[in-house]
Amino acid sequence: MSEVAIDQRALEETKTTGETEPETQSLPAAETQTSEASENVANQNAVTRFIEQPAIKRALPGIIGGIAVFVCIFFYLWISSPGMRAVYPGMTESDRQTAYELLNNSGYNVQVDMSSGEVLVENDRYHEARMLLASQNIPKAASLGSLGSLVEQGSLTTSRFIEQVSYRAAMENELAKSIAEIGTISNARVHIAESQQSVFVRNQTPSKASIVVKPYPGRVVSKSQIQAIVHLVSSSIPYLSRENVTVVDDMGQLLTDTDGDSALALTTAQTEHRTSVEANYQQRIQQMISAIVGLGNVRTEVNVSINFTEVESTFEEYDRDGNGPRTRSESLQLEKDSQPEAAGIPGGFSNEAPESPAFTQTTATIDSRQNQPNDVSSSSTTRNYELDREIRYVKQQVGSIERISVAVVVNENAYTNDEDETDQTKLNQDLQRIEDIVRSAVGYSPDRGDVVTVVASAFARPVEELDEPWYLEPDKLDGFVRIASVFGVLLFIYIFMARPFIKSMQARDALEVPMEIEDPDGISDEERQLVEMGDVETIQDVTARLKPKAVGIPAEYLDTSQPYDQKVALMRFLVKDDVGRVSNLLKRWIDDE
């Protein structure tokens, strides 16, 4: 039990009457617990006596300060220590050993990752280390899955199937590296389903490819980049069309949805074209008017209505000039006679035998021929060619401008003098000039229904941008954070370590304050030794010695008093002798609790 505990127990005894000493335990287990408690109290007393030595008390603030400084230095070094990074992930064991020895001999802070075995260097010197290794042709072995590894790993015993699988894996890896070179993509994976080609056209099946891309945080893969990836992969693999290439992001979203892409792409292109035309008109108007009223004193908005309808038409016109029809006629006549024409050799005889006049039948035959009717047919056709006939095939251009609307606002404050008076005459003249300039710039056409509006209005005062405070700059803010961390550690040590210890030391010193000798003619050394050695027979003798001199007894003398009731009597005497100091001591104990 410490001295403070003894004093508290003695003071509690003064508040009650008729109290007796606690009964001792008679059981062996109780005696064992009492002996262990006595050993603990003895150890605590030894530590307390060591700390209460004058030399230790004087050096204690310095010791605490040194520990705090050491903790702060360790904490600061831990915060400011540079991070480590793998210099070449995926190197072989031989390349790792060579790279480790080279970097270590070159003065680099090299470490080996215990989990993966990668060679790590500081982030600040990462690129220098890679350049150094590249100058020494390290890593020498080709990376796994590349086309170079096929040459190194090839052998005569490799089957054709293994060669095809290795080639496909190498092609996938190379395509993934090429896709990862795009600025918005951090990583990519490619899967190729290449079909077996057949000599028969009807048995050929198309190849297919699937791509998974992972963009950088906060970046988005645009439509043009997706199309570029599709073209890149389809051009690298035989018999692979663009329709059979699928691109998916790391969130599982399909980026190559072909359903309705044509209409959506067309609408997007039309919107972009319209925005481009409006921006072009707006920039031209802004530049011209700013030269008149000053930079920042004009605002313009342009709305262009564009017709994207594709129209094809055919026209046939006659007498377009109004000179009267001019024609050219052509007549065709055709006559046909059914009588057989003469045949044979002129001047020669026929092969037919001469007719005998005796036969009537022959005469009848001749008569039938002579009496046969002759069929004659004729036709007449007239064709007129119109000389002023014109046939036109017209295809209207897509994206023609149908209507233009322009709104211009001029800052009225630009025409205000020092007395805040506006020159209305000059303002009206300039507004009319500006309207004429705008109409000429946009190609104003009243037939199309174009509208140009120019007004003057006072602009609002621009809000001044506040400069960023110097203490919010990234470099200085980082330094402030580190300094605040150090002060936070110091404050933590003071609140939870130094302050409780100082309070406990002050409490121990307060116990001795009311016990110190106030009379310069206090107790002699012999009397103190008598009290300390317990040579006083009764409490009355101690009271008789101390009361005339109005002194107190040091706290350590209470441990040497022989009986318990004498300790209680001494404390009662001290309480009655100096009530103020005892009350202050009790208040201090309550505050500490």
> What does DSSP say about strands 119-122 and 376-386: parallel, antiparallel, or unpaired?
unpaired
Which segment of 2-11, 204-213, 464-473 scores lowest on mean pLDDT?
Answer: 2-11
- Per-residue model confidence as pLDDT tens digits over 93-142: 888 888 999 999 988 888 888 888 889 988 888 889 989 988 888 877 54
The predicted structure's pLDDT at residue 535: 47
DSSP symbols for 117-163? --EEEEGGGHHHHHHHHHHTT-S-SPPTTSHHHHHHH--TT--HHHH
Residue for token pair 């116990």? 511
Whether 275 has a pLDDT exceeding 60, the answer reads: yes
Nearest CA to 508 out of 477, 468, 554, 539 is that of 554
> What is the structure's pLDDT at 248?
93
Q: What's the pLDDT at 220?
A: 87
Write down the pLDDT at residue 15: 43
Peptide bond into 548 cis (omega under 30): no
Q: Write out pLDDT tens, residues 103-115.
A: 999 888 888 888 8
What is the reported pLDDT for 461?
75
Please tell me the distance from the alpha carbon of residue 204 to that of residue 384, in angstroms, as a whole number: 59
Give percent of the chain with pLDDT exceeding 90.
Answer: 12
pLDDT over 50 at 79, yes or no: yes
The three-state DSSP-derived secondary structure of 437-453 is HHHHHHCCCHHHCCEEE
Task: Taking each helix axis as running N to C, give the angle between helix 54-80 and helix 499-512, from 0 to 180 degrees, rounded to the nearest 10.
Answer: 170
At residue 212, the pLDDT reads 93
CA end-to-end span of the chain: 18
Q: pLDDT value at position 262?
A: 58
pLDDT score recorded for residue 29: 46
pLDDT score, position 408:
93
Please report the pLDDT score of residue 282 as a whole number: 92
Task: Check residue 47 and give its pLDDT.
Answer: 64
Integer Cα distance of 361 and 350 in angstroms: 20
pLDDT band at 543 (very low <50, low <70, confident <90, very high): low
Reported as a single tens digit per residue, the pLDDT across 13-60 is: 444 444 444 444 444 444 455 555 556 656 666 667 776 777 777 777
Lowest-pLDDT range, 187-191, 403-407, 487-491, 535-539?
Answer: 535-539
* DSSP E strands, 17-113: 84-86, 111-112
Q: Predicted confidence band at 488 (pLDDT cuts at 50, 70, 90)?
A: confident
Average pLDDT for residues 181-198, to the nearest whole number?
A: 85
Nearest-Å Rg of the Cα atoms of the chain is 57
Q: Look at residue 272 and tell me whether its pLDDT is greater than 50.
A: yes
pLDDT digits (tens, 9 = 90+) for 142-186: 444 555 555 555 566 777 777 888 888 888 888 998 998 888 888
Domains of the chain: 84-136 (3.30.70.1530), 160-197+204-258 (3.30.300.30), 276-303+404-457 (3.30.300.30)
Average pLDDT of the chain is 73
Q: Say how far apart CA 441 and CA 512 lie, in whole Å.
A: 100
